[in-house]
Amino acid sequence: MISGKFILILGAAATLTAGGCGSTDLKKARIESAANTEAILVNQAGYLPGAEKVALLRADAGTFEVIDAATGKTVFESTPADPLYWELSGDTVRAADFSPLKAEGTYRICLGDSETCSAPFRIGNDVYHEITVASVKSYYLNRSAIEISEESGGKWARPAGHPDTAVIVHSSAASAGRPAGTVISSPGGWYDAGDYNKYIVNSSITSYTLLLFYQMFPEYCRTLNLNIPESGNEIPDLVDELLWNLKWYLTMQDPADGGVYHKLTNLNFCGFVMPHEATDPRYVVMKSTAATLDFAAFTAMASRILANDPSEELRALAATCLEASGKAMKWAEANPGILYRQPADVSTGAYGDDNLSDELFWAKAETALAYGTAPAEGFLEGINAVTPSWNQSATLGLISLALSTGEPFASLREEAAGLIVSYTDELLQKSAACPYRISLDHFAWGSTSDVANQAMLKIIAMKLTGSGRFLPSIQSDIDWLLGTNPTGYCFVTGFGTLSPMHIHHRPSGADGVPEPVPGFLVGGPNIVVMNDCQPPVERSPFPARSYSDVECSYSTNEIAINWNAPLVFLLGAIDSMRP
């Protein structure tokens, strides 16, 4: 079982103060001072009372103080740790540990005897609940083919876009039963990212992660009220949201042969207009082995998880998923090497992948679990746990095997769990050596999702081992995402003192609402593409700091469904641990 208690690492020089100190003028100045996100980095959402609490200082200070944000009184003071330089961020930070402070309230951290203070933050049992709800509800606000009502969407209400009831079979996807130009219906699903297209490979890992969260935290999921149209039925809102995508997902399989179309898309990306104004023809494009294997894997997993659900609707859907999975596996076995290649007249996201060994392993693992028949000895040979992504899916199969309960899978379960725990222990070593206390040592496109996925693996390792040794590192991952990072941004829209306002997301850019759709995790810093804006905007050459809050920066400020899924898992898991 995952413990609901956080491990505290207490600083020897820490002092809790009862009455506060300092002059009246200094207290007033601190209360009124602007948040200095250059000098002091904090988790801008806040901390659970029992959690490890560490801010990072980028200024010389012999001491730091935690003050009550309303009164200016000092409630805690201590000495920061030694300065540490990080070559990936180009700066030096000092850890300011205030873990002993557990009293609920709103606070700021100030450098000793100065008016330099952090963004305000809360300590409380509910600090992650609202942001968890928003991170899940972002999927509703990114739905295709449905009106977002004012009742459920508030200021982000909008007309329905892309009904996708008249989708054209592209020449690359033509078959005997569905020649080029055939019109099919494929409604529903979520817009994949900042664009209006829908992609099977990215949808697969997204759906897996959300369903895994339901598998591991079913009671918590039943408590989440998202205020979506389906709220109040017998199915948890998170699962209702997942169903909106799953029902579309199933339409992407050719019923004649079981192959799965790689994507549903316009031929080209449209401009920044609202969904209902983007009316170019839509196509299903090419069947690929990667999409079909991912489809086979996720539908097998869904059949297994939903087969014994209390909901009769979900139990019936489980049977549909298992049948679809079987057809997809047969197609993939007959077509093992059909790699996605972008047709000449299509320029939307490719999600191309030339190595299908991880997809094949994931699909074989999930179908074996779904049918209850363990693979032959040596099934895990050559398989290692890595941080999962849309094109690195083997770890998903390891997770499913490690969490399995059937007796035929006992030896595989133990071996898979060992691989996951070994990898997460390596991640702990990396976070212990990093001045910013995270495990990430390479900044790819969507770096924030790598941090969230690594935190998810640590939570799973905690479940497998029953050990709380992963919790401080998990907390540091949360802190990074919510403000304790070199940019000073809370990377989740709608939350924090410094939050992305100009995300690369068509509805947010075209709806006339100043604030972006809330609950989205932006991609975050990296130096993969430095010229995504024309004319270029100023970017740091250091990968951990190279981020721009501008709409044109698709490489750092776009959103994506697969990036939000581990954020949901991470925040929801920690929120579920509150007393």
Give the largest Cα separation in the chain, rounded.
83
Q: CA–CA separation, 566 vs 207, rounded Å?
A: 11
Q: CA–CA separation, 440 vs 450, rounded Å?
A: 7
The pair of structure tokens assigned to 399 is: 């997770």
> Which strand ranges, in their side-by-side order, compose the sheet holding 15-16?
15-16, 74-78, 64-68, 105-111, 121-123, 46-47
Look up tokens 């981020």; give the residue: 547
Active site residue 195: yes
Of 450, 504, 511, 532, the catalytic one is 504
8-state DSSP, 197: -
Active site residue 502: no
- Sign of the C-alpha dihedral, residues 46, 52, 57, 60? positive
Q: Which of 526, 239, 202 has its CA nearest to residue 393?
A: 202
Pairing of strands 46-47, 121-123: parallel
Tally the residues of the chain. 579
CA 176 to chain centre: 39
Q: What is the CA angle 206-464-297, rounded to 5?
A: 35
- Using CB atoms within 10 Å of the CB of residue 391, give its burial: 0 to 12 exposed, 13 to 18 middle, 19+ buried: middle
Look up tokens 């740091």; give the residue: 540
Q: CA–CA separation, 387 vs 453, rounded Å?
A: 6
Q: CA–CA separation, 395 vs 379, rounded Å?
A: 14
Active site residue 549: yes
Helix, strand or coil, per DSSP, at residue 93: strand
Q: CA–CA separation, 30 vs 24, rounded Å?
A: 10
- Quick one: which H or E segment has residue 257? none
Q: CA–CA separation, 527 vs 58, rounded Å?
A: 22
Do the beta carbons of residue 93 and residue 539 sit within 8 Å?
A: no
8-state DSSP, 171: G
Of 77, 195, 359, 511, the catalytic one is 195
Q: CA–CA separation, 515 vs 495, rounded Å?
A: 11
Give the residue numbers annotated as catalytic, written as ranges. 195, 504, 549, 558
